[in-house]
Amino acid sequence: MTIAGIGSQLLQLALALLLAPLLVGWVNQCRAWLQNKRAPPLLLPYFTIRKLFVKDAVVADNASAIFRITPYVVFGAMCCAAAIVPSLATDLPFASAADAIALVGLFALARVFIALAAMDIGTAFGSLGARREMLVGFLAEPALLMVLFTASLISGSTSLPSIVDTLAHRDLAIYPSLAFAGVAFTMVSLAENARIPVDNPATHLELTMIHEAMVLEYSARHLALIEWAAALKLFNYSCIGLALFFPYGIAAAEDGFVALLGAAPVLVAKLAVGGFLLATIETLSAKMRIFRAPEFLGTAFLLAVLAMLVNQMLGS
């Protein structure tokens, strides 16, 4: 553990906390522009989080301790995930204590707690959203693991910094296994972040929403933490995709502090392009029925497994 490593770790975590709401605002703006609508302000997620933090929380009388601690657990899990994913540099002291499997475990931990909190109050829509969320997670997590295993087979390690170092220093070429894994990861990312076609983050129609149904009973600082954690989850998935499939621009362990500062604008540029592509996919797609979600995520799992088989057979 070096001073430079600690500095890069703290800088990466701070950048994740600051840029996550901005990424959500950028995606919302691009989506409105593509739909010929008036775009909301870019900084609207910041204003919303600030407004919620200064309000007084209202908690149901029959709420247990799980309902109260869930926003903090979910937010903490997303912060830990942001510390593991190498978005700026690979010299991350915290990343050595966890690998890709632990990263998926953090996402699962957040999902379990928010599902329990949704069922804790006993409302019909909360339980409905919790069951749907667990269905999506049950199908999405194996596909995500297969994608990460495909990258780990190439690098020979499940450590994300090692994977990024290996992929970033390979010759620029199209690898069939990573192509299949990239499509599978995109499908999983859409489902995990409650985006179209699996879910619509802008809807409040109780019969179709998944994520919003689970947080209907939250308010004030609790809702602010959940909204911030949702933005962090989208940011983390975006950084995972960039680290696996576009690792260029991430500072290596032997690079100096200047390279670390140069990696920040590169990350912002890549996130801007990724946010525009996400908005494009949502604009060109239609919301599917919830009963079609297993087919959608089953296809993602098959593509991820196919990526592993191609890697084993072709070695690329």
Asked if 50 and 211 touch (Cβ cutoff 8 Å), the reply is no
The C-alpha angle 102, 106, 112, rounded to 5 degrees, equals 135
- Coil, strand or helix: which one is 219? coil
Asked if 203 and 209 touch (Cβ cutoff 8 Å), the reply is yes
For the stretch 227-259, pLDDT in tens is 999 999 999 999 999 988 888 878 776 666 677
Q: What is the dihedral angle through the alpha carbons of 68, 69, 75, 77, rounded to the nearest 10 degrees?
A: -150
For the stretch 5-53, pLDDT in tens is 677 788 888 899 999 999 999 999 999 999 888 988 999 999 999 999 9
The C-alpha angle 269, 274, 280, rounded to 5 degrees, equals 130
For the stretch 253-299, pLDDT in tens is 666 667 777 788 889 999 999 999 999 998 898 888 888 888 999 99
Asked if 314 and 176 touch (Cβ cutoff 8 Å), the reply is yes
Place of tokens 């910041």: 46
Amino acid at 248: Y
pTM: 0.91
Residue 12: CB partners within 8 Å, gap ≥ 6? 82, 83, 86, 87, 88, 89, 92
Residue 184: CB partners within 8 Å, gap ≥ 6? 143, 146, 147, 300, 301, 303, 304, 307
| Residue 172 backbone class (left: φ over 0; alpha: ψ -120 to 50; beta: rest) | beta
For the stretch 79-119, pLDDT in tens is 999 988 888 877 777 777 778 888 899 999 999 999 999 88
